[in-house]
Amino acid sequence: MNKDEAIRFATKYLEDLLSFFGINVAVDSTIEDEVIQLSVPSTSMNSLLIGRNADNLRALQTIVSMTLSAKEAEVTRVNVDIADYKRARADRIAEKAEGWIKKVRETGEAMTLDLNPADRRVVHKLADDYSDVTTHSEGEGRERKLIIEKIAE
């Protein structure tokens, strides 16, 4: 399945999954950096679809991604966002990251943070804007941590 077919399939598949919950909405889809972006509009079922700690949201994302893999699609990475939940969270993390980076720049002391993969990605991306700060991740699985450090002059 080529890239365009994968996008169409992922969109329709998520719409069909949502219809099992009685949610009949049009899912908006785009592709960014080889990741299919699926955006579900706000409904009365947002809290159920997102779930505690966004567990249900990640489960929907995993189901769509695994189905694309099983169909040997050219693109299998999927990002599902419901009612802009992830975008709002990324904005909040970016705001916090500005403070973390400022502190590291002022004190020169490295900072270690326990963040999920999506949040780590936001901080890495933001830190790229600073020439005197670097970020990297250490550890495996759930023990993976993000380190923000000042670059020695």
Question: What's the rounded mean pLDDT across residues 8-24?
Answer: 91
pLDDT value at position 153? 67
Average pLDDT over the chain, rounded to an integer: 89
Question: What's the rounded mean pLDDT across residues 110-116?
Answer: 88
**What pLDDT digit, counting tens, does each position of 93-112 carry?**
999 999 999 998 888 888 88
Fold of the domain built from segment(s) 3-83: GMP Synthetase; Chain A, domain 3 (3.30.300)
End-to-end CA, the chain? 50
Question: What's the rounded mean pLDDT across residues 13-39?
Answer: 89
Domain segments of the chain: what residues? 3-83, 88-150
Is domain 88-150 in CATH 1.10.357.10, yes or no?
no
5 has pLDDT over 80: yes
Q: At what angle do helices 3-19 and 55-70 cross, to 10 degrees?
A: 130
152 has pLDDT over 80: no
Long-range contacts of 71-76 (CB under 8 A, 24+ apart): 71/1, 71/9, 72/1, 73/1, 73/5, 73/6, 73/9, 74/1, 74/2, 74/3, 74/6, 75/3, 75/6, 75/7, 75/31, 75/34, 75/35, 75/36, 76/6
Calpha distance 3→124 (Å, rounded): 27
